[in-house]
Amino acid sequence: MKRAAIWLYQLFLPVFDPLRAVRGLSAYPRYAGDYQRYTRLAGAEPLHPTDAYPQLHDRTGTTGIDAHYFYANGWAMRRIVAQLPAHHVDIGSQTMFVNLLSAVLPVIFVDYRPLEPRMAGLTSRSGDILKLPFADGSVDSLSCLHVAEHIGLGRYGDPLNPHGTRQACAELQRVLAPGGNLYFALPVGRPRVCFNAHRIHAPEMIAEYLAGLELLEISGVHDDGRYVERVSLDAFVGSRYACGMFWLRKAPDQVQSTDRPADDTLNADLSSNSQRHQPGRSRQSDLV
């Protein structure tokens, strides 16, 4: 019965959230009382009903977060900055993450849906994670956070492909330079497809997909939102919807050749960005 209720809730959530609606309706009396009390305060600005903009869900005891994104973004940024790469490439992660990272070092952001806003230090390009516009072994520092689990499910307009996550992992390995670092995160736990939101993979399956790289660290977020660092591969086995964070490195002498042509514009950006964007930075190894 509980599983059926969750299924119905998820099915209609894109157009109607009944739980949020109930909470919102119950908060209207409080809003109306605050409105009236405010108008009677000394020095209160005049209020007009047509300017009303009720915010009914923000009076909470603590600041709410999405634990997966909050911790994955912070985890990756600390490690990237500590490594001090000349530039960094991100594939499809949260835009706030790449914006903040680009304030510290030059970033190229590649997404199936191109990012239109522009900021100093941030270069955005349209691209497909299954056919990245970079030459073999050309990217020294690479991230892909909470992205690969969506590939091939059509959620973002991409073609349907049951092998999307596996092929995305292969493509990330292809473009990673010898000695380069990959920061990778996605949901882990009991394997299944929640169509068309995401896939959930067993941790050992991700290790298999990325077997061509050396696994330096696994961290993550448990089902209950607890963040843990440097755990074993089996720490999230059996989880319902945990977040696995994988720091991997390609061996310095590892060369992979596919003879795939690269986008010359993007590869030029790798060098030009690092030359024109050099904010003051100091090594922050203590953050890792």
The domains of the chain are located at: 2-51, 67-278
Token readout for 224 is: 């209950």
Token readout for 131 is: 């056919």
Fold classified for 67-278: Rossmann fold (3.40.50)
Q: What per-residue confidence (pLDDT) applies to 10? A: 87
Cα-to-chain-centroid distance, residue 161? 21
* Residue closest to 172 by CA, chosen among 69, 233, 268, 246: 246
Question: How many Cβ atoms from other residues are within 10 Å of residue 112's Cβ?
Answer: 17
Q: What per-residue confidence (pLDDT) applies to 282? A: 40
Q: What per-residue confidence (pLDDT) applies to 279? A: 45
Q: What per-residue confidence (pLDDT) applies to 285? A: 37
Q: What per-residue confidence (pLDDT) applies to 265? A: 56
Token readout for 65 is: 């977060």
Q: What per-residue confidence (pLDDT) applies to 268? A: 61
What's the predicted TM-score (pTM) here?
Answer: 0.89
Mean pLDDT per block of 10 residues along the chain (288 residues) reads 82 90 96 97 97 96 97 98 97 98 98 94 97 98 98 96 98 98 98 97 97 98 98 96 98 73 59 50 39
- C-alpha angle 243/2/235, rounded to 5°? 25
> Which amino acid is located at 156 in the chain?
Y
Q: Which residues contact 227 (CB under 8 A, 6 or more apart)?
A: 67, 71, 219, 220, 221
Token readout for 122 is: 């941030």
Instruction: Decide: 160 and 106 in contact? Cβ < 8 Å.
Output: no
Cα-to-chain-centroid distance, residue 110? 13
